[in-house]
Amino acid sequence: MRTISRCLGLAFAAVLIVGGVPASAPAQNSSLAPTPPMGWNSWNHFACKVSDKVIRESADTIVANGMKDAGYVYVNIDDCWQGKRDAAGVIQPNEKFPNMKALADYVHSKGLKFGIYSSPGPKTCAGYEGSFQHEAQDAKTYAEWGVDYLKYDWCSAEKVYKPSEMQGVYRKMHAALMATDRPMVFSLCQYGLEAVWRWGASVGGNLWRTTDDISDSYDRMSVIGFDQNGLGPFAGPGHWNDPDMLEVGNGHMTHDEYLTHMSLWCILAAPLLAGNDLSKMTPETLAILNNPDVVAVDQDPLGTEGRRLRQEGPFELWMKLLADGSRAVGLFNRSEDAARMQVSFKEIGIIGETASVRDLWARHDLGPFNRSYSAEVPKHGVVLIKVKEATVGSAP
């Protein structure tokens, strides 16, 4: 849908001030996203087939199936909700969304939060009305509706702005959101262009996409996910790298591949926005999304993003340091056959010889181990463990 070139530019673009863009925006509100945002977004499954009914039913299901209690609180409409502007320029939803304020009220009545989507360009990626030259007006409208989260997607902005103006463009919408006095999580979506992780927080972003779009395939998911190594220093409480939304449960990966997807996103401290049809979810899918031990890795209050410690061909060892001094460790097998994989306690920074190991997917303590732990890891699969020693060592 987009024609934009999506190469990851390493150039650290200077801020150019575009018409009406403030020289500096106030810092984003980090209390809005102290841990990576969790919720559900319509795009990955419904794309433009989203409607008021879909959003209401998704909100109902998130409450009924335990996802809300697991932490999934944002219910976000992606592209395709927009209609035309009225004579005063105020954006109107299209016929699939008869009353946006009533819909937001409904989502809020369930104890959930309500998210929406726009573009800084004249059109969204799907060709609907964007916010170009209506930024303050749109922010005000969103606040009046009761919006809690805005995903702001570059799309046709490439036709009206230079890449070097991108930072100013995002600052401008952030300033407009701040001027409303309604806290709204600000989600930058520009596919990792201009090395966004270097400046996303400074323009007010609570999260920023680091990659082009995910799809429901093991190849695409793993290219995106395993390519994230090294971006950790740019993430932390209030400002997160976003390798795109979850495809768990959309049907084109195996169970082990979805476990890999979820494990990797949690080690990466990625936003967890489920993208499946919640009304048709299998118990296996729900168990992946709701596993409290695994979600706790993502939501750990220390807010560090994990990284790859070792790679041996298709076998990768990733680790995330947790607030209690323990380590979440992922043994990932990207090969086409099951394989035995090992982690030594020394390589994850554990000083003593003995550590306790918990299998996070099984939610089962495996007991104390000496010096190392090894396990059989299925093809395209993962073994995700938490390793804790009595005396805390320093992270490697």
Binding site for ligand GLA (CB under 6 A): 1, 43, 78-79, 124-126, 153, 189, 213
CA distance 130 to 172: 14
Shortest distance (Å) from residue 252 CB to ligand GLA? 17
Helix H or strand E segment including 254: none
Geometric angle at alpha carbon 63, from 62 and 66, rounded to 5°: 80
* Helix, coil or strand: residue 244: coil
Measured from the CB atom, the residue of 77 and 297 that comes closer to ligand GLA is 77
DSSP designation for 211: S
The rounded Cα 310 to chain-centroid distance in angstroms is: 24
218-226 vs 255-267: helix crossing angle, rounded to 10: 20
Shortest distance (Å) from residue 220 CB to ligand GLA? 13
Measured from the CB atom, the residue of 242 and 389 that comes closer to ligand GLA is 242
Catalytic residue, chosen from 52, 138, 153, 212, is 153
Catalytic residue, chosen from 213, 227, 256, 293, is 213
- Measured in degrees and rounded to the nearest 5, phi and psi for residue 144 equal -65, -35
Shortest distance (Å) from residue 118 CB to ligand GLA? 10
Shortest distance (Å) from residue 362 CB to ligand GLA? 33
CA distance 344 to 357: 12
Buried b / exposed e over 350-388, threshold 16 CB at 10 Å, is beeeebbbbbbbeeeeeeebeeebebebbebbbbbbbbb
Q: Which two tokens stand for residue 226?
A: 């395993």
Measured from the CB atom, the residue of 43 and 318 that comes closer to ligand GLA is 43
Shortest distance (Å) from residue 331 CB to ligand GLA? 30
Q: Can 324 be counted among the known catalytic residues?
A: no
Q: Can 227 be counted among the known catalytic residues?
A: no
Measured from the CB atom, the residue of 205 and 381 that comes closer to ligand GLA is 205
Measured from the CB atom, the residue of 40 and 361 that comes closer to ligand GLA is 40
Shortest distance (Å) from residue 93 CB to ligand GLA? 16
Measured from the CB atom, the residue of 224 and 343 that comes closer to ligand GLA is 224
Q: How many CA atoms lie within 13 A of 35 on its CB side?
A: 18
The length of the chain is 396
Contact call for residues 329 and 348 (beta carbons, < 8 A): yes
The catalytic site residues sit at: 153, 213
